[in-house]
Structure 1
Amino acid sequence: MISNKILIVDDEIEIIELLETVLKHEGFSHIFHATTGTEALSLLKALNPDLVLLDVMLPDLSGHQLIKEIHQHRQIPVLFISAKTEEFDRLLGFALGADDYITKPFSAKEVAFRVKARLKTTTKTIQFGNITITDGIVSKNNEPLDLTAKEYKLLMYLVRHANKIVSKEQICHEVWGEDYFEFDNTISVHIRRLRKKIEVDPSKPKHITTIIGLGYKFVYKEGY
């Protein structure tokens, strides 16, 4: 059985029951649900789940409001499930820090596999220099760092592509869910803030390096 705790937030009981059935079939044994944003906030504090499946349209708080509340306290994966299928809605979801955006109607089995895939990328402990990343928490010298949702997502994108050059266009598309146009300064600002938080000497970064004319490279070596 899989020990990760999953919280489903949706006001449609039929969808909750469908997802619970499929997730249990895939080995998840700790599945909880809420039908309102207020109930979800209470469960988030009480359960400390490892992943949230979140409907955008709820009867009280919206999913957009709720994801902001979630990421103020912990950087856990949030997968939006929504009947809103327009490109604007999907991009807004990613801009708010969602890790995935699944549109209704959906394949419940596909959702389960997406949940598994996302958990695989968050449960592994990553360590470089005096930085440790585990269970969605980034620590420096064993002290948790105060990263914004976007800073965390940017860092994890760079880490997943360690020792490879990634362009600003790629970063913009994957982290912001937007085309690169007019995002050059935004990316530079976030890179600068990340360096201040994780590098020993931000003016001479060892990990988040600039490759002039090409983009950035996250340098990772065992024990480095």
Structure 2
Amino acid sequence: MNDASILLVDDEWSIIELLQTVLYKEGYTNIDTAGTGEAAMMACELKKYDLIVLDVMLPGRSGIEVCPFLRQTTDAPILFLSARTSDFDKITGFAVGGDDYITKPFNPLEVVARIRSQLRRYFGATHQLAMESRIKESSRRVLNVYDYGRFRIDEAACELQVEGISVTCPALVFQLLLFLCKNPNQIFSKSQLYEHVWGEESLSDDNTVMVHIHRIRERIEKDPSNPSFIINVRGLGYKLVQANEGRIYSS
């Protein structure tokens, strides 16, 4: 993972320099920088990054405004940096496509630890999807298609279709939806989902599952604010409701 391509976006050079220094010491040397949101958007159009650190308060377009545009070209983890510490600001960051939210002032070693954790998840999910694709090609095992009427998920092709149209789906979002489709009508807590899909114990303050559930709902629900497929069971967790028309068959 030390050859991961990282983009640092901040208009304060002292912060860029600090993060670069610490990342270099940890072996991450493939690092680009940008001082504005517009420069970050241009950089992502020209190059594929494995992780982006994005400041919220940028000149011109803010990080919150830029993030949705970046999400059109990349599914790489995006870590927000911000002096804003309210829960509303953090939830907004997750809602527009962020994967983590780090408040200033920060411990640079903690930032590096979070970067390493996000890269481990990102590369792990990408590797898992690649493995499943190779398994399909070699016909070593049969994979399933899960058809829920409005949406259809093909495990072998790693494809999500909604109303017959193929929908772009980041690796971890796909893996979480696939796990729920394999276990319909069962309630899972956020920590259980995290352990099953990410393969490690969750942190007590981790919002990753909540963010990814939101991204699934944006894709498969007619009204994401009033979901009919992925239901939140208050105090217990989430479940995927399998209606009578839900079908599973071999591809």
TM norm structure 2: 0.61
Is this contact kept in 2: 1:97–1:153, CA < 8 A? no
Paired with 1:72 and 1:20, the residues of 2 have a C-alpha distance of: 26
Unaligned runs of 5+ in 2: 133-142, 145-153, 194-206, 213-222, 232-243
Residue 120 of structure 1: how far off its partner (Å)? 0.8
Is 1:186 aligned with 2:221?
Answer: no
Unaligned runs of 5+ in 1: 178-183, 193-201, 208-222
Equivalent residue pairs, number = 185
2:104 match: 104
Is 1:175 aligned with 2:210?
Answer: yes
1:146 match: 167
2:216 match: none
Q: Against the structure 1 CA distance between its residues 167 and 59, is the aligned structure 2 distance closer, same or farther, given a 3 Å change threshold?
A: same
Is 1:204 aligned with 2:229?
Answer: no
**Per-residue CA shift, 1:199-219, capped at 9, x if unaligned?**
xxx942559xxxxxxxxxxxx
1:198 match: none
Q: Against the structure 1 CA distance between its residues 204 and 23, is the aligned structure 2 distance closer, same or farther, given a 3 Å change threshold?
A: same
TM norm structure 1: 0.67
Secondary structure of the corresponding residue to residue 227 of structure 2: helix
Question: Which is greater in Rg?
Answer: 2
2:198 match: none
Is this contact kept in 2: 1:68–1:96, CA < 8 A? yes
Residue 131 of structure 1: how far off its partner (Å)? 3.4
**Per-residue CA shift, 1:95-119, capped at 9, x if unaligned?**
1121100000001111111111111
* Percent identical residues: 35
Moved more, 13-22 or 90-99: 90-99
Is this contact kept in 1: 2:122–2:172, CA < 8 A? no
Paired with 1:112 and 1:132, the residues of 2 have a C-alpha distance of: 35
- Please tell me the root mean square deviation across aligned C-alpha atoms, in Å: 3.8
**Per-residue CA shift, 1:48-68, capped at 9, x if unaligned?**
111100000100111011110
What amino acid maps onto 2:73 in structure 1?
H
